[in-house]
C-alpha cells in the first residue's frame, strides 16, 4: 500500500485504524484502537462514513477517495455561497475558492530558483518537482496549502469545513434579514460539531461570542446558543475527560514564527493576502449608504479574532496544530480579499494596468499552493510505501484468526500492520497519542518496551495490561524485542517471513528461563553445560534479558531473528571447566565483535573492541580439577559470532568436550 502525499504518511494509518476498528473490531461504543482501553476522543464521523463504504465492499482507496471528493466538493459550494452572500459578487465568490485551495506565501520564489539551477529539462523538472513550496521548515515557511495539509490528512475537516461555513452563512443571513430560523438552524449545526470536528466547534464559539455582542438581539441569539449548548455539552464532556492538564491551552506568541520578525513571518507565509484583505474591508466600510456592506465588513472583521488568539495561545500540544484555528481566519476573511480583487479586475479606469495588477496579485497568492497541488495531484510520483504486501496479508490473517476485541502488544509506531486489522493496539505512534492529550502515555510506552524485551517483570506487566497477542516483527526487533522469550513461553499462531504473532492468553508450560526460580530448578537437572546470561546492552548492565544453559561455546547469528536478544547485546557465559590432564593448555577465541576469556578470574585472552571476525589465543597452566571459566562477549550490530577452542597437552585444536563443562563445581 502506497500513498502519494507525504503529509498523509503518518496520519493515514491512524485513520485506517479507526475505519477498520468499526468494520472488523466491533468498536461500538468506540475505544481508541491506537490506545487500547481508552475511549475514542478523536472526531471520528468522517472515518465512520468510510467504514460504511468498507462494509459495503469498497477497497481502501475508494473508501477514502469517495467521501473526500463529495465533502470537498460541498466545501467548494459552501464557500462560494458564503462569499456571494456577504459581498454580492459572483466573481468574488469564484475567486474565493481559488484563494483558499491554493493559498500560500512567497515560497514560489524558490520554485524558480530551483528551476534556474536544475540540469534537467523544463518538462522533466515539472514532472519531478524537488520539494514543497508552501512547506519549507528550514526557511520558516509553515502555512501549507489546505488541500495537501488539511483536506486529505486531517479527515475531520471534510465535515468540519462545509458545516462550519454553512453555520456562518446561516448566521449572516439571519443578521442581514433579521430572521430567527437561520439562527436556529445554525445553533443545531453547531451543536453537532464536537463529534464532527472539535476545532471547528471551538472556532464557531470564538466568532459567535463577539458577533452576538455586536449584533445583539437576545431572542435570536438565544435560538442559536440554546440548541448549540444542549446538543454539544454531552459531546464536550465526553471528549474532554481524558486531557492531561498541562497539554492544552498555553500562552505562546507568534505561532510558528520563532525568533523571526512576526510581521515578516506572516507576510512571507501568506504573500499579499493581508494588504488585499485590508483593501477589501476598506471597500466594505466605505460604501456610502450601504448598510448591508457595512454589516458584511463587521461580520468579516470579527474573524480577525481567529488570527489574534492562535498567535497568543497554544490550543493543542503541537504548535503547528493551531493552523486548525487559523485556517478559519483565512476562510472567514477571504470574501473581503476576493472583493478587493474583483474591484481591481472590474476597474473601469486604467483597465490594462488594473487587470495586470489583478493577475500579478492572484499569482503571488496562489502560485506556491498551486505548485504543491500540481506536484501531488497531476505530476507522476512514485509514492511512499505505507504497508508491504506481507503486512497487508498479515492483517487479513489477524482478522480471520483472532477475536475482534483482541488487544495487541506491538511496537509503538504509526504504520504497524495491526492497524489494518481492526484490532486494538496497546499503543500506536507516541506523537499521535501525545497530541490527543492522553496523560499516561509515557508510562505505557516504557512498559511496552519492557514487555517486548522479555525482562523479569514482563509477565507481571502482561497481567496488568492484558494484551491478547504480541507481534514480533522488524519494528519490535529494532526496539530490542526478545523473540526467544516469546518462543519459550507462548505459542505462535501466525508466522510469516518477518512477523510472528504469539497468543499471550495461552502461556505454555515449557520452562521460562527468564525466571530465577526456573533457572534454579533447571540447574539442578543439568549435569553438563555453562550458564549464559544475555543483556540488552554491551556493558552487561542491569538484569539479564534472557538466560539459558549452553553446552557448546559457539554461535553464529547472521540476522536479528536468530539472536536471543536484539543487538546491541552482551552475554556472559560462566561455570566450571573440568581438567583431567594437568599441563599447558592453549585457548583460541574467535568473535565478531569483542570477547574475553577468564580462567579462575584471571584474564587469559583479550579479544575486545569493535571489530569484524577476529581470533586471539592465550596459554595457561591448569592443574587437575575444576576451574572457574568466564567468557564475555558483546555484539554492537550486524552478525554475531563467537567460538572457543582449546588445545590440551599433547593434543590438537578442538572444541571443549561437553562433559568438561559444568554449571556447578
Q: What mean pLDDT is reported for the chain?
A: 88
Backbone φ and ψ for 454, nearest 5 degrees, come out as 65, 40
**Average pLDDT, integer, range 526-550:** 85
613 backbone dihedrals φ, ψ, rounded to 5°: -55, 125
Q: Are 337 and 276 in contact (CB under 8 A)?
A: yes
**Residue 510: what pLDDT?**
39
pLDDT digits (tens, 9 = 90+) for 244-271: 545 567 888 999 998 999 999 999 999 9
Say what the pLDDT of residue 245 is: 46
Gap between the Cα atoms of 236 and 437, Å rounded: 14
> Beta partners for 119?
none
Each residue of 645-654: pLDDT tens digit?
A: 999 998 899 9
pLDDT of residue 513: 41
What are the CA-CA distances from residue 376 to residues 4, 38, 71, 145 (Å)? 7, 36, 19, 12
Q: What is the pTM of this model?
A: 0.75
385 phi and psi angles, rounded to 5 deg: -70, 125
- Going by pLDDT thresholds of 50, 70 and 90, the confidence category of residue 311 is very high
pLDDT value of residue 520:
44
Q: How many CB atoms lie within 10 A of CB 11?
A: 18
φ/ψ (deg, to 5) at 148: -95, -15
When pLDDT is cut at 50, 70 and 90, the band that residue 516 belongs to is very low
Dig out the grid coordinates for 620 from the structure: 595457561
SS3 state at 323: helix
CA angle 410, 416, 418 (to 5 degrees): 75
User: CA-to-CA distance for 18 and 33, rounded, in angstroms?
Assistant: 7
Q: In the β-sheet with 500-503, what is the strand arrangement from edge to edge?
A: 424-425, 407-409, 469-472, 500-503, 492-495
Q: Give CA 25 to chain center in angstroms.
A: 21
Q: Three cell numbers at 290?
A: 450601504
For residue 326, which of 397, 281, 270 has the smallest C-alpha distance?
Answer: 270
Q: Which helix (H) or strand (E) holds 467?
A: none
Q: What are the grid coordinates assigned to 38, written together?
A: 481508552
Share of the chain above pLDDT 70, in %: 93
pLDDT tens digits for 4-47? 666 666 788 888 999 999 999 988 888 999 999 888 888 888 88
Residues 6 or more apart whose Cβ sits within 8 Å of residue 109: none
Separation of CA 69 from chain center: 24
Question: Are the beta carbons of 175 and 300 closer than 8 angstroms?
Answer: no
494, 394 in Cβ contact below 8 A? yes
End-to-end CA separation in angstroms for the chain: 58
Residue 562 has pLDDT above 80, yes or no: no
- Please state the length of the chain: 665
Q: Which three cell numbers stand for residue 572?
A: 556472559
Q: What are phi and psi of 554, to 5 degrees?
A: -160, 130
Nearest to 331 by CA among 291, 302, 292: 302
What percent of the chain is modeled with pLDDT above 90?
Answer: 61
Amino acid at each position: 500500500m502506497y500513498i502519494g502525499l507525504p503529509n498523509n504518511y503518518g496520519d493515514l494509518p491512524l485513520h485506517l485504524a479507526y475505519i477498520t476498528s468499526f468494520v472488523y473490531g466491533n468498536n461500538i461504543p468506540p475505544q481508541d484502537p491506537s490506545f487500547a482501553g481508552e475511549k475514542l476522543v478523536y472526531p471520528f464521523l468522517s472515518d465512520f462514513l468510510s467504514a460504511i463504504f468498507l462494509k459495503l465492499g469498497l477497497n481502501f482507496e475508494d473508501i477514502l477517495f469517495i467521501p473526500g471528493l463529495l465533502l470537498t466538493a460541498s466545501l467548494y459550494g459552501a464557500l462560494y455561497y458564503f462569499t456571494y452572500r456577504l459581498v454580492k459578487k459572483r466573481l468574488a465568490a469564484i475567486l474565493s475558492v481559488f484563494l483558499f485551495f491554493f493559498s500560500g506565501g512567497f515560497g514560489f520564489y524558490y520554485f524558480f530558483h530551483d528551476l534556474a539551477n536544475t540540469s534537467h529539462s523544463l518538462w522533466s523538472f515539472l514532472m519531478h518537482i524537488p520539494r514543497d513550496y508552501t512547506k519549507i521548515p528550514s526557511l520558516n515557511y509553515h502555512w501549507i496549502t489546505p488541500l495537501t495539509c488539511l483536506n486529505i490528512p486531517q479527515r475531520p475537516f471534510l465535515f468540519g469545513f462545509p458545516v462550519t461555513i454553512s453555520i456562518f452563512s446561516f448566521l449572516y443571513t439571519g443578521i442581514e434579514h433579521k430572521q430567527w430560523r437561520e439562527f436556529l438552524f445554525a445553533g443545531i449545526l453547531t451543536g453537532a460539531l464536537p463529534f464532527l470536528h472539535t476545532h471547528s466547534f471551538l472556532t464557531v464559539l470564538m466568532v459567535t461570542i463577539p458577533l452576538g455582542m455586536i449584533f445583539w438581539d437576545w431572542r435570536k441569539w438565544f435560538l442559536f446558543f440554546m440548541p448549540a449548548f444542549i446538543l454539544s455539552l454531552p459531546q464536550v464532556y465526553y471528549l474532554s475527560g481524558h486531557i492531561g492538564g498541562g497539554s492544552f491551552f498555553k500562552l505562546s506568541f507568534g505561532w510558528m514564527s520563532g525568533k523571526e520578525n512576526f510581521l515578516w513571518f506572516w507576510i512571507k507565509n501568506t504573500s499579499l493576502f493581508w494588504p488585499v484583505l485590508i483593501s477589501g474591508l476598506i471597500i466594505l466600510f466605505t460604501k456610502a449608504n450601504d448598510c448591508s456592506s457595512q454589516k458584511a465588513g463587521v461580520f468579516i472583521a470579527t474573524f480577525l479574532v481567529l488570527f489574534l488568539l492562535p498567535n497568543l495561545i497554544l490550543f493543542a500540544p503541537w504548535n503547528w496544530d493551531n493552523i486548525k484555528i487559523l485556517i478559519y481566519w483565512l476562510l472567514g476573511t477571504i470574501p473581503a480579499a476576493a472583493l478587493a480583487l474583483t474591484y481591481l479586475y472590474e476597474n473601469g479606469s486604467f483597465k490594462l494596468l488594473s487587470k495586470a495588477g489583478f493577475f500579478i496579485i492572484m499569482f503571488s497568492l496562489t502560485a506556491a499552493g498551486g505548485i504543491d497541488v500540481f506536484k501531488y495531484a497531476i505530476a507522476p510520483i512514485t509514492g511512499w510505501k505505507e504497508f508491504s504486501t506481507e503486512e497487508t496479508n498479515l492483517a487479513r490473517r489477524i482478522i480471520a484468526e483472532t477475536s475482534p476485541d483482541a488487544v495487541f502488544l506491538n511496537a509503538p509506531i504509526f504504520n504497524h500492520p495491526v492497524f489494518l486489522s481492526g484490532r486494538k493496539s496497546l499503543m500506536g505512534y507516541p506523537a499521535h497519542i501525545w497530541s490527543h492529550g492522553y496523560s499516561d502515555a509515557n508510562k505505557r510506552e516504557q512498559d511496552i518496551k519492557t514487555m517486548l524485551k522479555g525482562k523479569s517483570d514482563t509477565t507481571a506487566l502482561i497481567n496488568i495490561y492484558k494484551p491478547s497477542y504480541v507481534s514480533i516483527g522488524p519494528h519490535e526487533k529494532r526496539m530490542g524485542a526478545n523473540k526467544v522469550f516469546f518462543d519459550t513461553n507462548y505459542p505462535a499462531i501466525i508466522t510469516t517471513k518477518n512477523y510472528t504473532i504469539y497468543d499471550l492468553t495461552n502461556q505454555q508450560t515449557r520452562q521460562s528461563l527468564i525466571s530465577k526460580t526456573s533457572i534454579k530448578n533447571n540447574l539442578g537437572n543439568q549435569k553438563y553445560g555453562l550458564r549464559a546470561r544475555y543483556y540488552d546492552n554491551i556493558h552487561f548492565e542491569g538484569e539479564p534479558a534472557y538466560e539459558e544453559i549452553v553446552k557448546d561455546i559457539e554461535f553464529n547469528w547472521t540476522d536479528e531473528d536468530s539472536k536471543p536478544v536484539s543487538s546491541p547485546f552482551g552475554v556472559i557465559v560462566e561455570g566450571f571447566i573440568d581438567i583431567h590432564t594437568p599441563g599447558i593448555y592453549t585457548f583460541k577465541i574467535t568473535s565478531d565483535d569483542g570477547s574475553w576469556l577468564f580462567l579462575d578470574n584471571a584474564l587469559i585472552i583479550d579479544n575486545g573492541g569493535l571489530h569484524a571476525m577476529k581470533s586471539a589465543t592465550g596459554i595457561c597452566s591448569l592443574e587437575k580439577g575444576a576451574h572457574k571459566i568466564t567468557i564475555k562477549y558483546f555484539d554492537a550490530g550486524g552478525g554475531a559470532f563467537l567460538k572457543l577452542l582449546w588445545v590440551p597437552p599433547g593434543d590438537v585444536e578442538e572444541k571443549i568436550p561437553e562433559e568438561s563443562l559444568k554449571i556447578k563445581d
